[in-house]
Amino acid sequence: MKFIYQGQLLQDQARTLRSLNILDNCVIHCHLSQAAVSAIPDTAVAPSEAGGVALNMGNLMIPVFVVMLAVIWYFRLNYRQLFTAPATISLVGHSRDGTPE
């Protein structure tokens, strides 16, 4: 792992941030080389090796929203008296762009 500040490699671990003239809101880049990545034990694989199932919630978000919209449209069509005009307009807007507000 290498830290870079203003194009200079920060190597001396004995120096402080103040001695390097690093102030608030400065940007320090961190470079992680491939050799270091392969040397780190992979703990993310451990749960699936132990019999657990790795689940990425990000992949489920769009299907969940589609199902939610379908259920709401079902209720809108079958129980019209419970939906006001602004609620219906909002539902149409969500159905068109596919993203919640």
Same domain, 9 and 34: yes
The reported pLDDT for the residue numbered 51 is 56
Range of the domain at 42: 2-49
DSSP assigned state of 21: T
The reported pLDDT for the residue numbered 90 is 82
Render pLDDT for 79-101 as a digit per residue (tens, 0 to 9): 888 888 888 888 787 766 555 54
Same domain, 25 and 9: yes
Same domain, 45 and 61: no
Q: Is the pLDDT of residue 48 over 50?
A: no
The structural domain count of the chain equals 2
Instruction: Mean pLDDT check: name the lowest of 43-47, 53-57, 60-64, 76-80.
Output: 43-47
What distances in angstroms separate CA 30 from CA 5, 7, 79, one per listed residue?
9, 12, 56
Cβ atoms < 10 Å from Cβ of 16: 8
Same domain, 19 and 38: yes
Render pLDDT for 53-62 as a digit per residue (tens, 0 to 9): 666 777 788 8
Same domain, 40 and 74: no
Same domain, 45 and 23: yes
